[in-house]
Amino acid sequence: MQNIGEKFRLSVYSQRWGHNDTYKLTKTEEGWLLTFNKATDAPCDRFGHPTLEKAFTGESISYPNDLEYFISEIWDASQTKSKEEVQGYFDQLGEWMSTTEKTKPNFSPLHL
């Protein structure tokens, strides 16, 4: 298996905090270990369950309904691609998620 133990970054804009948050994912034989805030080496399967989506929800970050598909496709690609190529996939995913997060409407009572 390629890239086992390699660390990757998923940088996503947080509208709540007004800056990018960086989620660190380390590839394992079964999936990923997530490091973000209080989650240190929290295990996820190759789809990011259950920790990655919980982290986004906890930070009020909108994420695509099919996020698990993209995370699993990146895991599959990491079997044959270089670390740099895999990081490029995470960069693309983070850019897309950040664009969505930056443009979502804010309907909180403080902004109406």
pLDDT per residue over 33-88, tens digit each? 999 987 788 999 999 999 999 999 999 999 999 999 999 999 999 999 999 999 99
Is the Cβ–Cβ distance between 1 and 75 less than 8 Å? no
**106 — pLDDT class (breaks 50, 70, 90):** confident
pLDDT at 42: 94
pTM of the full predicted structure? Answer: 0.92
Alpha helix stretches (DSSP H) within 1-112: 51-58, 67-77, 83-103
Is the Cβ–Cβ distance between 102 and 26 less than 8 Å? no
The full set of domain ranges for the chain reads 7-101
What is the chain's mean pLDDT, rounded?
Answer: 93
Mean pLDDT of the 89-93 span: 98
How far is the C-alpha of 10 from the C-alpha of 97, rounded, in Å?
Answer: 10
CATH architecture, range 7-101? 2-Layer Sandwich (3.30)
